[in-house]
Amino acid sequence: MSPQDAYASLIGKLREVALIGSAASTLEWDMQTQMPEQGIGVRGEQLELLSTLRHARFTDPAIGELLAILTTSDLAKGDTPEAANIRETQRDYTRACKLPGDLVGAIARQESVGQKAWEQARKADDFSQFEPHLRTMVGLKQQAADAYGHDGERYDALLEEYEPGATTVEVASVLEGLRGPLVELVAAVKDSGKDVRHDMLERKYPGKDQAEFARFAAQAVGFDFDAGRIDVSAHPFCTGLNTGDTRITTRYDENFFGDAFFGTLHEAGHGMYEQGLPKAEHFGTPMGESVSLGIHESQSRMWENAVGRSAAFWKWAYPLAQKRFKDALWDITEDEFVGGANAIRPTLIRTESDETTYNLHILLRFELERALLAGDLDPKDLPGAWTEKMTKYLGVVAPSDADGCLQDVHWSAGLIGYFPTYTLGNLYAAQLFEKAREDLGDLDDQFAHGHFAALLTWLRENIHQHGRRYTAGQLCERVTGKSLSSEPLLRYLRGKAKSYYGV
């Protein structure tokens, strides 16, 4: 068989694998947005079956035979789309073949059961209801890490799924390196004695109006609702099901504006990345997929924060918000509202936290899940460990499990190794946004007039179109001319602290 014929056959097989995965993702979306609670039993069986089928189809020896032909051919050379697809498929195939099919099915089933158990436990504010499911999932993920193989740090094996090439030691070093400067910055803000009011965000905001305004903002920045939709879920997420079908979710709290609005911009950022990937041409192949979750998070955090919390954005958006929410904002000036959106104050909830303390939330979760996976922390002891670290890093204590260790969906879904990518995303976002400002001129003036297309086009050209052609680190250096650094993020955060607190 010629390399060209082998490549065409490989692409056909990868598309079939992707179609099975897309079907499973559609069922997962349905489960989290609208499925009746009593449907969880069969849904777990459906997802187990589809995951097992997908794994079996992808680890078929026939794919290995095609890759054996292709990896030594001229098609595998250079940085062409073909070379990227061959290289990354070989990586994925080698990794997938290490995982037993029955373990893949067991994890998929536990994901569906565990997420529903998490929803119920969170609603009941009772960690004991979720603890058996957490214990089961941690055990399954320990088995998976051991099957993948590691050098004594199970976390490395799972981190590879989300941030290829990164190691636990490297991530720990990044997070620890940020902790000192961020704690110092938070302390300086506190010592400044300046109180930036934020009470206007906690007034009455009718859910219907929030939904309409959040959708309007998501569409304005560039999320294509002809190729996507927005729904409600217990925890916001984005899923790119296939070409022309990207779905985001949010949640509404009528007594807090920020959760839905900034959460929707966050998920819209994910969604615009999914919509910008070249899936029409490369569906099912690495070229049609995101390079890493760190880069994925850079897109969501950029639109949520660098754009959505900027004074320039609200110069355009605030008159519209004030008109929509006149009962809540009639006595609040634009400057006061922007200050509230950027107030620096330790809070209980990660998704509601400010940009400076956010990374301390991530450090806490990284350390806890690393300990869980290593067997150094028993699942039953998670609430106590959570309280200890929240007190140490943020100086706040959760009054309940719902606002404590039950606030995130990730562990119920088996997403152990995911959390560090949020901080990596913040780092990438800051560095990429600095470069975008350099290339595009006065972005503030554009935002102030409700013009966001130039930034989105820049991201499409520099990030989205490349799929997995480059690693995250290579992509960062290719776009910015520099390796990933913490300095752009620290400059950005210190700049905000100076603007609003004079420190």
The catalytic residue positions are 267
How far is it, in rounded angstroms, from Cα 309 to Cα 322?
A: 16
| In the block, residue with structure tokens 């008109």 | 323
Q: What is the largest CA-CA distance in the chain?
A: 73
- In angstroms, the CA 279 to CA 287 distance is 8
Q: How far is CA 234 from CA 25, 27, 110, 250, 433, in A?
A: 17, 16, 18, 8, 30
72 phi, psi to nearest 5 deg: -105, 5
Q: Which amino acid is at 320?
A: L
Cα separation, 86 vs 337, whole angstroms: 50
Pairing of strands 238-242, 228-232: unpaired
Are 464 and 476 in contact by the 8 Å Cβ rule? The answer is no
Cα distances from 27 to residues 35, 39, 40, 51, in angstroms, run: 9, 11, 11, 12
C-alpha to C-alpha distance for 84 and 89, rounded to whole angstroms: 8
